[in-house]
Amino acid sequence: MRLSFTKFIFTMALACSGAFAQELCPHFLLDKDLIVNVEGRFVNEAKSRASMDIQWRHHPEALDTFYVSFPNAKPFRFITAGAYRYMEFENPKVKRQLGLHHLRETIGNTPLRLDDLELLANGAFLCKDTTEQPATVLSTALSNMWWSMSVNRLEEPDSVSMRGAYKESRLFRIGQWKDFSGTRLPTLIKLTSEKYRGDLWVRSAYTAEALKEDPIKSRYKNGFNGLFRKVPGEGKRKIPLILKLNQELLRN
């Protein structure tokens, strides 16, 4: 009995080592530093309305940070480097370390998962054998929630489906792609599932340098001369008729 148990452990170890030995082929939505502001409105599994706002600060060579806020819940920051990740809360200040198994958790009372943020930031997908798997089907590498993602085309897809744990599946319908600071992003996204539904909007996206610029000063680099139109001061000043009449009455 002990021998068979040892064989079982050895077999599982080999399987795990083989899985982690597979080569990673990351797929990123963003390929440069960018700040993206997203708004989400949902009807969750409990048939309750839920909403949230996310500011995603993407840095290909550094940590990614997601600022997540809700109308009636505590906001937090989700920070990931791929190899490790954590959440930060304020008042009181708390830092929560997260393992891969924590990524199955939902974000507040919305149907989205922490794993969605992780995939956006790090794009951890396995390299595929195109002889066995279509190019439009991607297998996740480290995700504990989602096993695969399928797109109807590689360039600017309008349909993205995902399958994962708990036999869960969902579909994203992308209504529009738009250029933001030289990067094409989906702006109108409809989410559907058997258990929930929702809409996502990318409100804005800009480079980190844009935050440092003063939009007025950058427009008027030579100062504020000419910003306000000067009122002509030469010539005889015209006095309205009603004032002239009042002046005549006061003289009398």
Name which of 8, 67, 5, 69 is nearest 36 in CA terms. Answer: 67
pLDDT at 114 over 70: yes
Alpha-carbon span 245 to 243, nearest angstrom: 5
Name which of 75, 50, 70, 68 is nearest 196 in CA terms. Answer: 50
Distances from the Cα of 34 to the Cα of 1, 31, 116, angstroms: 57, 9, 18
Q: How confident is the model at residue 123 (pLDDT cuts 50, 70, 90)?
A: confident
Alpha-carbon span 168 to 164, nearest angstrom: 5
pLDDT of the residue at 238: 54
pLDDT of the residue at 230: 47
Average pLDDT, the chain: 81
What is the torsional sign of CA 45, 46, 47, 52?
negative
Instruction: Mark out the alpha helices in the chain (DSSP H runs).
Output: 2-21, 114-122, 208-212, 215-219, 241-251
pLDDT of the residue at 241: 58
Digit-coded pLDDT (tens) for 21-49: 468 787 788 888 999 999 999 999 999 99
- CB distance 190 to 196 below 8 Å: no
Digit-coded pLDDT (tens) for 104-113: 999 999 999 9
Digit-coded pLDDT (tens) for 181-202: 899 999 999 999 999 999 999 9
Read off the DSSP letter of residue 62.
S
pLDDT of the residue at 157: 95
What's this model's pTM, rounded to 2 decimal places? 0.75
The residues pairing with 37 across neighbouring beta strands, listed in sequence order, are 55, 204
pLDDT of the residue at 124: 86
Digit-coded pLDDT (tens) for 46-94: 999 999 999 999 988 889 999 999 998 899 999 999 889 999 998 889 9
Query: Three-class SS of residue 182?
Result: coil
Residue 98: both structure tokens together: 């997260």
Digit-coded pLDDT (tens) for 136-185: 999 998 898 999 999 999 899 999 999 999 899 999 999 999 999 899 99
Q: What is the CATH number that goes with domain 23-212?
A: 2.50.20.10
Digit-coded pLDDT (tens) for 212-248: 665 545 544 555 444 444 445 455 555 555 555 555 5
Distances from the Cα of 203 to the Cα of 53, 56, 120, 132, 167, angstroms: 10, 12, 17, 39, 32
